[in-house]
Amino acid sequence: MKLLTYLLMMCAGLAAADQPAKPAPHAIAKQPVKKAPAGLKVPADATEVSPGLYHWTDGAGKGWMYRRTPFGVSRWADDSEDTKQKAIVQQTTAVEQGDSIRFERSSPFGKRTWVRKKSELDETEQKIWAHQQEKTSASGRAEKE
């Protein structure tokens, strides 16, 4: 056992001898610190949509959204609701089940499925259902030709 301890101490000593000596802390040259770029700021004439969320239109007429976060201000282009709604309509499938319609859309967390009565459809669900009916009628016409 003493022999094993002795060998381990010798190996540790040799390993320490192979490493170069570290310079003293005061001998290390100080390098200039780079300043971070100036962060985004919410424009003064931006309108507050909700707490911490602002909308602003630039001189070219393009809309921008600003949000205050713990890490600073983030900015992104304000897509119109029509663009978002069209994407949702195209990514969702609808299947009729009696007096109800079953909707299905893929999300990053898996498939999202919900069922709604035809009389209780909201505006987006009505557009999804109309789009699905157009797709099925167009495919039916293509099969007949």
Lowest pLDDT segment from 74-83, 88-97, 121-130 = 74-83
> Model-level pTM greater than 0.75?
no
pLDDT in tens, 85-119: 778 888 899 999 999 999 999 888 999 999 999 99
Distance set, CA 58 to CA 53, 66, 67, 110 (Å) = 16, 12, 16, 38
pLDDT(21) > 80 = no
